[in-house]
Amino acid sequence: MATIGFEFLSSILTKPDLKQVAALGDLSDLFASEGEIEVYNAIKKYIDVSNKVPPKDIIEKETAMTLPTVSGDVAYYHHKLIGRFVHNSLTNTTTDMSKFLVQGSGYDPEKALTMMENQVLQLRLRSEGHHNVSDFRDAFESVWEKYKHEYKTGIVKGITSGWPTVDEHSRGLLGGDLGSIVGRPETGKTFLMLYSALHAWIVHKVVTVFFTQEMPAITIKQRMAAIYAKAPLTPLKSVLFMSPEEHTLYKEALQSLHDVHQVPFWVIDGRMASTVDDIYMHSAALGAESVWIDGGYLLKHRDMRMDRYRRVAENVDLLKGTAIQLDVPITASWQFSKEQKKKQKKNADKTPDLEDIGYSDAIAQHSSLVLGLVQNEAVDTLQQRKVFIMKGRDGQIGQFNINWNMLTSDFSEKPDLAQMPVSELQLKNLG
């Protein structure tokens, strides 16, 4: 009876700790035999009645089983139990998917891949979920120690955007936060996403993952290269337009990337990550600390019967859950509704509202920060553009100007506005 399941159950009874057992949640699916499940259910029943972990002899008497003697703690055996569960699950999935890999009428490698991807996602959630339960009485160890570290070092965990006005009022995006950049087509959402993502990567030195739903990965990397090198984008897209100086600038900047930056910036084509499940898997596997999704409204859903509006709402819920589960900030771009475009035509100075966001109210509800971009390219927007703060962490709204210099790919906040008092930035606290 010395299976890992029985060893784990015996460890619970040998070093009784109700708080630790409760934090593990329901473990019924981890046991491989009727005997293990019988002992586990007997322990649960005793806890339900007495609110205590039962003595080992009572469980042995009730189940007529002799449990092994163990010396390790619960966490050690729980880790081994999860390992067995993962091994068995992957083995079973491999067996089930193998029938789709044999040439014949049932040959369907794409279906086999989907089966494996779904199983890996479920195993990730199952193996990591037990860390999300904690006792508030232990808050000193987490909350206070975190505060003390930030107080002494001045280092705040939040990942800043690179625009001082936004960062002053959002205090950076934290793990579990969802940020949104909203705009009509061709207003520059992708440039803003890339500028801010590169800022996070360079300044905070975090592993960054950028999912592109709207354009090919090579196009994204070209834009990133222009922003990084502070050079015009057009010459990079065609060698015919590149001067010798620009050739040297780009070559030196790109060749030095590995030497200058110790953490990766991953760019993933939308064909590799078309659902939130895909985003979760890639982000977890790559150790993402900052996640960006260009074209969140284009994400698919495992339920293909959903219309676009319900699909976007469901995906926003899933993205928020993913941010919490992975403990990383996720920023996604969205579109304004057609009604917002009509309002803008009637009044070019009209400030966009949260209800102007297309497809779903869930985008505004789940987002800790919402930025809006409504100005198309025109004479007065060739050098600068206005960005609206539609929602800040504490309810702020307002606006600020950014550079829109395509000769140096500069999208930073205008210096003169960055130094103005908050009152002059027309910020209004709605809280």
The length of the chain in residues reads 431
Mean pLDDT in residue range 55-59: 94
The pLDDT score that the predictor gives to residue 115 is 85
Mean pLDDT in residue range 155-175: 82
348: left (phi over 0), alpha (psi -120 to 50) or beta: alpha
Grouping H, G, I as helix, E, B as strand and the rest as coil, residue 200 is helix
Phi, psi at 85, each rounded to 5°? -60, -45
Nearest alpha-carbon partner for 209 in 269, 265, 166: 265
d(CA 322, CA 312): 15
Residue ranges of the domains in the chain?
Answer: 4-132, 156-368
What is the model's pTM?
0.69
Instruction: Look at the block and give the residue holding tokens 């659902």.
Output: 275
Which runs of E-coded beta strand occur in 16-173? none
Greater model confidence, 203 or 117: 203
Nearest alpha-carbon partner for 242 in 232, 228, 230, 227: 232
Instruction: Give every CB contact of residue 271 below 8 A, 6+ residues apart in sequence.
Output: none
The pLDDT score that the predictor gives to residue 161 is 92
Q: Name the DSSP class of 409.
A: T
d(CA 218, CA 346): 38
Phi, psi at 285, each rounded to 5°? -65, -35
pLDDT tens digits for range 7-22 = 999 999 998 888 778 7
Chain-centroid distance of CA 177 in Å reads 8
Nearest alpha-carbon partner for 354 in 430, 294, 275, 292: 430
Chain-centroid distance of CA 146 in Å reads 22
d(CA 237, CA 254): 15
Instruction: Give every CB contact of residue 261 below 8 A, 6+ residues apart in sequence.
Output: 201, 202, 205
Greater model confidence, 122 or 128: 122
Q: Residue 109 above 80 pLDDT?
A: yes
Q: Residue 95 above 80 pLDDT?
A: yes
Q: Which CATH number fits domain 156-368: 3.90.320.10, 3.60.20.40, 3.30.360.10, 3.40.50.300?
A: 3.40.50.300
Reported as a pLDDT band with limits 50, 70 and 90, residue 125 is low
Domains 4-132 and 156-368 share a fold: no
The pLDDT score that the predictor gives to residue 419 is 46
Tell me which H or E stretch contains 410.
Answer: none
Query: Is the domain 4-132 a CATH 1.10.860 member?
Result: yes
Reported as a pLDDT band with limits 50, 70 and 90, residue 417 is very low
Strand-pairing partners, residue 371, are 181, 389
- Sheet order of strands, 265-269 included: 265-269, 208-212, 290-294, 330-334, 178-183, 369-373, 384-391, 396-403, 428-429
The pLDDT score that the predictor gives to residue 228 is 93
What are the DSSP calls for 281-315, one per residue? HHHHHHT-SEEEEETGGG-B-S-TTS-HHHHHHHH
Q: Give the tokens for residue 288.
A: 């993402």
pLDDT tens digits for range 320-330 = 999 998 889 99
Grouping H, G, I as helix, E, B as strand and the rest as coil, residue 385 is strand
Which runs of E-coded beta strand occur in 60-157? none
Q: Name the DSSP class of 24.
A: T
Mean pLDDT in residue range 238-251: 82
Nearest alpha-carbon partner for 303 in 294, 293, 313, 288: 313
